[in-house]
Amino acid sequence: MVTQPWTNVPCPGCGCVCDDVRLALADGELIAFDPPCELGAQWFRRHGERGAPAAQIAGQPASLGESLDRAAALLRAADYPLVYGLSRSTTAGQRAAVALAERLGGAIDTTASLCHGPSIMALQEVGEVTSTLGEVRNRADLVVFWGCHPAQSHPRHAERYSVFPRGRYVPRGREGRTVVMVGDATQVHQWRLDPAGARPDLVVPVPPGEDFEALSQLRTMLRGGSSANVPDELRRLLDLMQGCRYGVVFFGLGIAETSMWDGPPGRHAGHVNVAALLQLVAELNAVTRFTARRMRLQGDVSGADNVMCWQTGYPFAVDMSRGYPRYNPGEFTASELLASRQTDLCLLVGAETVPYFPAEAREHLQAIPTILLDYPGTQPALAPTVRFTTSVYGLHSAGTAYRMDNVPLTLRAMLPSQLPSDEWVLGELARRL
């Protein structure tokens, strides 16, 4: 049976959270998704899967009550539990996770620690001149993508917000904008603005690991200083930056990522790179209007930052063991707590980033009890002690998710489901402690 066609559906498939999607579902399966976006359609197809047991203990189906009791017993027995994930949840689930971590006196960290954590640290250090995507759409005549490949990670970003739309002060759309891509010299020439293969007006290749040097050259030249060996493309970029009416730089993990364990040299200082970029953007405001915006990957990772901040005062990497929140990336981040074997239980709300943990952390995760809350249609890269399959926000349950520019959007419930929400499971666990 085809359920009614749904219009203006917000899609949590990536940080764009496009809220103009039209889709149709038949017997719980996605049969139409428009405008076309394979990433978004896959998200709805994958999570619409039915028949998953609501709870499992050691891989075997179990009743919800029995699984809650078992998980609560594990939590009670733990000395220093870690709550991790949260970016595929929504505000209500994230708030329940923080409350549980506080009740347990453990640590809580989000997937930001594996992606834009360094950017958050940078903006805490030097501030951030930023804007909403609506402002970019209506005003930006120069759009720079630095260290990101939007065609792959955010397929409709260019179409909907940054490159093609006609805006109030950019009435000619694409023709009224100059678009630049800056990135790793070994890859940037292959990057595209959208899945149709749209190209930027200028490509600025940066040798791997030398973003900081390129940013320093731009800052020096902006102040009127001279810098040796400046590539022509970088000089051209500075001219465009100084000459635009409203510029924006979207930056991704290519500049922000820090790989503490096995990344190449130069990838250890993502927060330094991002701080230099944010300072450049702030300084450009002496000559024109310029803003910066992180390209957030997961659907509600921005919501996780927001909820963590208003509940604990800090965006990620928070310890509650002293009865008050303490913040220290590198000490209370999940990778470090697991790799150093300091935590003796891990509760994961979403396990999509487990493969990106260093080997020592993944090893320890298999050696301790784990409680996993995840959506149907996911194959976790760990074998949890207790698993709850929770209803999907934006498909089975309503909720609030934050777009990459921190604008909250209401997700809709379109399919009935017997699965519990993560807010309910986390609240029940807290109650049973």
Interface contacts to ligand SF4, rule CB under 6 A: 11, 13-14, 16-18, 21, 37, 39-40, 154-156
Residues in the chain: 433
d(CA 368, CA 16): 36
The nearer residue to ligand SF4, 46 or 174, going by C-beta atoms, is: 46
The nearer residue to ligand SF4, 102 or 159, going by C-beta atoms, is: 159
Q: Is the Cβ–Cβ distance between 348 and 378 less than 8 Å?
A: no
The nearer residue to ligand SF4, 154 or 294, going by C-beta atoms, is: 154
The nearer residue to ligand SF4, 222 or 413, going by C-beta atoms, is: 413
Q: How far is the CB of 396 from ligand SF4 (least distance, A)?
A: 17
232 Cβ contact partners less than 8 Å away, ≥ 6 residues apart? none
Q: How far is the CB of 159 from ligand SF4 (least distance, A)?
A: 8
Q: How far is the CB of 28 from ligand SF4 (least distance, A)?
A: 19
120 Cβ contact partners less than 8 Å away, ≥ 6 residues apart? 112, 305, 315, 316
The nearer residue to ligand SF4, 10 or 147, going by C-beta atoms, is: 10
Q: How far is the CB of 128 from ligand SF4 (least distance, A)?
A: 23
For the record, the structure tokens of 135 come out as 């402002």
d(CA 39, CA 431): 37
Q: How far is the CB of 45 from ligand SF4 (least distance, A)?
A: 12
Q: What is the bridge-based pairing of β-strands 55-57 and 29-34? A: unpaired
Q: Is the Cβ–Cβ distance between 351 and 372 less than 8 Å?
A: yes
The nearer residue to ligand SF4, 13 or 399, going by C-beta atoms, is: 13
Q: Is the Cβ–Cβ distance between 385 and 405 less than 8 Å?
A: no
For the record, the structure tokens of 423 come out as 């807010």
Q: How far is the CB of 40 from ligand SF4 (least distance, A)?
A: 3
Nearest of 375, 374, 377, 354 to residue 366 by alpha carbon: 354
The nearer residue to ligand SF4, 150 or 427, going by C-beta atoms, is: 150
d(CA 365, CA 384): 9
266: left (phi over 0), alpha (psi -120 to 50) or beta: left
Long-range contacts of 410-413 (CB under 8 A, 24+ apart): 410/10, 411/10, 411/12, 411/90, 412/6, 412/9, 412/10
The nearer residue to ligand SF4, 300 or 305, going by C-beta atoms, is: 300
Q: Is the Cβ–Cβ distance between 316 and 116 less than 8 Å?
A: no
Q: Using DSSP, state whether 35 is helix, strand or coil.
A: coil
The nearer residue to ligand SF4, 14 or 136, going by C-beta atoms, is: 14
Q: How far is the CB of 403 from ligand SF4 (least distance, A)?
A: 9
Q: How many CA atoms lie within 13 A of 416 on its CB side?
A: 2
The nearer residue to ligand SF4, 8 or 285, going by C-beta atoms, is: 8
Q: How far is the CB of 368 from ligand SF4 (least distance, A)?
A: 34
Using CA atoms, how far residue 302 sits from 36, 44, 123, 152, 426, in Å, is: 24, 20, 14, 19, 20
Q: How far is the CB of 19 from ligand SF4 (least distance, A)?
A: 9
The nearer residue to ligand SF4, 151 or 170, going by C-beta atoms, is: 151
d(CA 429, CA 388): 12
Q: How far is the CB of 154 from ligand SF4 (least distance, A)?
A: 5
Alpha-carbon torsion 108, 111, 114, 116, what sign?
A: negative
φ/ψ of residue 172, rounded to 5:
-95, 10
Q: How far is the CB of 409 from ligand SF4 (least distance, A)?
A: 10
